[in-house]
Structure 1
Amino acid sequence: MDLTGHSTDFTVDASLPEAMRRFVARARRRWPRLLLSGEPAAHEADWRLPEPDDHYSGIVTFSSGPEMDDFWEENGYALDDSGQGPFAVFYRRRTGPLHATTISGIRTDDPGVVQAVEGTCLLMAEYYTVSLLTPEDPAADPFSAAVVDDLVGSFDASVKS
């Protein structure tokens, strides 16, 4: 199958495994019969992000149930008749220095954070590279935008998922 869909890419801190648990909980609310990588989703408390091999990315696929899984096999990451579609998170754990010379474009409700962080340097020793593959470009598709918003929102541990 050809890869389809739209990739939104992130570099995230070591909290990805916990954020992904919250993301799975949000997906389960959207789709009560949620399949993760083709299997019925375990309860959020029991689900763990699979650790990828050192040389390969990990992947978690999301679909609403067997029908969408079959749809994905035939159509790839595309919207179905309901305006929804399968999506996936590709991730890879990285260790070693990451240095960005300038942080910019901060989005937060706390102006103090913007003032304290905007324009500073970034240093990280453990992080993940993440690609969220949605059926369409989130800038043009409400379903894909909601999936991206759910992933971003899953990094806020203070918000109940």
Structure 2
Amino acid sequence: MDHVFLAQGPVPVMVERFLGSWFRRWPELRCASGEDDSDGVFSPWAPGLEGASADTGSLLIARDEEMEANWDRSGYVLDERDEGPLALHYVPAGWQSLPMVPQKDPYGHVGFRYEPYDITVVGAGLYLFTLITPDDSAFTRAAVDTLLLSFSSTALRR
């Protein structure tokens, strides 16, 4: 499943926070560059190791060597622990503004029927993040929630 997010902030900080959260869950966390021209070699990740050094990149994320090995055979599937591999891709938004139609009321009104209408997102320093996960599950929802927390403004303060 692809989950696409629009976020603002320093990419290295957001990626570090995301990986740090997963490291607490997966102490044997392993990462590899997901870039097409990379060698795709996984290595252990630890807090403080640079996860993202550029504004554009891709990371493949596995719990341990076993998940890494099974990824090639099985792809994005949940294992016997109901966990699966993740991939995170990020690029700067290549536009100054983006027209869209929100599916929910952007003002959060309660008690009124919402009729979707056009809005335009405008901002500087915006990035598109794509989180690839196994099918919808509690694990996938935890990965999405963790990434969203990594984007929050309070999470960006060091």
- What is the DSSP-based 3-state SS (H/G/I as helix, E as strand, rest coil) of the residue aligned with 2:16? helix
* Secondary structure of the structure 2 residue equivalent to 1:136: coil
Alignment pair present for 1:132 and 2:128: no
* Residues 1:41 and 2:45 aligned together: yes
Q: Which residue of 2 aligns with 1:51?
A: 54
Match of 2:3 in 1: 8
Q: 2:37 maps to which residue?
A: none
Is the contact made by 2:78 and 2:134 (CA closer than 8 Å) also made in structure 1? yes
Q: Do the aligned residues in 2 keep the contact of 1:103 with 1:121 (CA within 8 Å)?
A: no
Listed as ranges, the matches of 1:92-103 within 5 Å are 92-100=91-99
Structure 2 residue 24 is the aligned partner of structure 1 residue 29: yes
Q: CA RMSD in A?
A: 2.6
Unaligned runs of 5+ in 2: 33-41, 110-116
For residues 80-95 of structure 1, what are the structure 2 equivalents within 5 Å? 80-95=79-94
The number of equivalent residue pairs is 139
Q: TM-score, normalised by structure 2?
A: 0.74
In 2 relative to 1, CA 102–135 (structure 1 residues): closer, same or farther, beyond 3 Å? closer
Task: Give the C-alpha shift of residue 15 in structure 1.
Answer: 3.3
Please list every run of 5 or more consecutive structure 1 residues that lacks an aligned counterpart in the other structure.
1-5, 108-112
8 A contact 2:59–2:87 mirrored in 1: yes
* 1:142 is the counterpart of 2:138: yes
For residue 150 of structure 2, the aligned residue among 129, 132, 154 is 154
Aligned partner letter, 1:24: L
Native 8 Å contact 1:78 1:135 kept in 2: yes
Identity among equivalent pairs (%): 26
CA positional deviation for 1:94: 3.0
User: Counterpart of 1:41 in structure 2: which amino acid?
Assistant: W
Distance 1:143 1:17 in 2: 24
Alignment check: 8 A CA contact 2:71 2:85 kept: yes
Q: Which amino acid aligns with 2:14?
A: A
Contact 1:96 1:125 in 2 (8 A): no
Report the 3-state secondary structure (helix = DSSP H, G, I; strand = E; otherwise coil) of the residue aligned with 1:158: helix
Is the Cα contact below 8 Å between 1:95 and 1:125 reproduced in 2? no
AA of the residue aligned to 2:29? L
* SS class of match (2:123): strand
Give the direction of change, closer, same or farther, for the CA distance of 1:121–1:98 in structure 2 (3 Å limit). closer
